Structure 1
Amino acid sequence: MQNATILFEKLYNFRDVGGMETKDGNFVKSGVLFRSDDISRLTKKDLDTFSQYEFKLICDLRTSNERKSKLYEFPKSWGIELKHVPIYHESQDLSHREFFQLLVKGSKNLDFEEMIKNFYRCMIIERRQEIKEIITLIANYHKAPCLIHCTGGKDRTGLITALIQLYLNVPYDKVIDHYLVSNALVGPRMKKIENFIRMMSLYRVSSQQIKPLLIVSRDYLEDVLQEILKEFGTVENYFIKGCGIDKNSLNKLREFLLNK
């Protein structure tokens, strides 16, 4: 599968959002919108590869705490516009020190699956302004290619990607499959993170307990997508009525991302 090809030394979840056929016979353009994990990890060799994409816009969804020690910049000659649009739940916007204090003190009572599911619900309900900003940015920037990324490239980036693909009329199951590819791509790295978290918690947190933090689950995405569809009927209505995105911007997004 092309989507599962590792192209970089330190990026594991970098891939094209396009290439899929829609239910009405169009195709999502390849080479226009990409998704990724944390690009602050790019090595010198990675930067050479990255430069070949000639990105015009990068949307960074990480929190301010996440960005503190992992900032990045690119040569001005590359002409990249960088936009920081943090999407987070309060439980996620912790410093490393605060996170590990939470692990040690509350290890027995921590339910990471519930935490992740609450985070997804928070994104679709409390972060609608940020979703509007991201979609409007991409739609009106209209220069390709663009990149969306967060830290793992699986949850925040995964949700935004899924919403865009569903708006473009990509079949529901294909959207879910694309989302789940993250497990294959970030699995090896997540194992290292699991070991690190367990060590820092003084091994008070089990591997099974940590697992929900390190994977994507069909339930995570489907729960919030079904909530959106139940309330709004379509992702387009969610964008317009829920997030306040104007119809003109959505038409531009469709024109930007679809081969007709």
Structure 2
Amino acid sequence: MNRIIPFQGTHNFRDMGGYRTADGRTVKYGLFFRSDELTALSAQDLTAFQALKIRTIFDFRDGGEARHKPDPAVAGVQNIRVSAVPEDQISRMNLPGAMQGRERSQHFIEDLVKSGFFKQFRANAYLLELYARLPINNPSYKRLMSLIQCPDNLGLLHHCTAGKDRTGVGAALILLALGVPEATIMEDYLLTNETMRAYNDMQLQRLGRHVDEAELRNIEQMLGVKEEFMEAVFGTIKMTYGNVDAYLAGEFGLLEEEREALQEMCLE
């Protein structure tokens, strides 16, 4: 099956099935999907979307993002949103989520440019800090990992704005629980650089007319994904818990029995 699902209104919509686990089994297709924002899905897209038999849309975005570009209401699909980035971090970093009273643009990078983010912060350093914080004591991922244990919630689509950072970590946690090796998880994560290449190149060309070269390179860092970002997730997990098994048990209550049940349901 084709992992990348082409829609007119998304750029990074993928089925997470087909990955092999450490014990030789394979993640079933049609259970877990990941994507960028969904607000631009066309009528044709929505027809194809319904054919995927998705029952749950899980949104990692904050309230401002979701109000500006709401998820579609699809018959038979439950929409759940729990922000993956704490409000205090949004405010401290002067990110678009904290832009009270300011008109938002059509792309989050434009909001970052307007907010002065790329003059004040280095995107690489910000993303490393973000990734290191995301997997620990995060209500959004706790809810996600609870949802995936109930078959009535599957297929489940989880997404954020670009489908790369918050969604990338969510995808990593699902695959870790299923027993997929870290090297394979990294492959899934880095695939975003391919799926988003044409769109990101277009954004860089457009924004390059309005910022200097240093800012443009900073924007380029923000648009992509790098191994060191996901390594920060794995590093935080091991530094805090020692190993993945202890992490999944401590953060999400996924003890051996629960993980076996989840894997029996989702692997073949």
Length-normalised TM-score, structure 2: 0.84
Residues 140 and 249, structure 1, Cα contact 8 Å, conserved in 2: no
Of 184, 189, 214, the residue aligned with 1:179 is: 189
Unpaired segments ≥5 residues, structure 1: none
**Which position in structure 1 is the counterpart of 2:22?**
23
**Which position in structure 2 is the counterpart of 1:190?**
200
Offset, 1:249? 4.9
Residues 194 and 214, structure 1, Cα contact 8 Å, conserved in 2: no
Counterpart Cα distance in 1 of 2:153 and 2:194: 30
> Does 1 or 2 have the higher relative contact order (CA < 8 Å, sep 6+)?
1
- In the alignment, is residue 254 of structure 1 matched against residue 263 of structure 2? yes
- In the alignment, is residue 94 of structure 1 matched against residue 104 of structure 2? no
Name the count of aligned residue pairs.
250
> Kindly tell me: are residues 45 and 128 of structure 1, through their superposed partners in 2, closer, same or farther at Cα, counting changes over 3 Å?
same
Return 107-116 or 28-37, whichever deviates more: 107-116
What is the correspondence of 1:111-260 to structure 2 with a 5 Å cutoff? 111-125=122-136, 127-198=137-208, 202-204=210-212, 206-241=215-250, 243-247=251-255, 249-259=258-268
**Which position in structure 2 is the counterpart of 1:56?**
55
**Which position in structure 2 is the counterpart of 1:80?**
77
The C-alpha deviation readout for 1:26-68, integer Å capped at 9, x for no partner, is 1111111111111111012211211111211110111111111
Offset, 1:12? 1.3
Residues 34 and 145, structure 1, Cα contact 8 Å, conserved in 2: yes
> Kindly tell me: are residues 143 and 109 of structure 1, through their superposed partners in 2, closer, same or farther at Cα, counting changes over 3 Å?
closer
Return 189-198 or 46-55, whichever deviates more: 189-198
Partner-residue secondary structure (3-state), 2:158: strand
Length-normalised TM-score, structure 1: 0.86
Residues 131 and 160, structure 1, Cα contact 8 Å, conserved in 2: yes
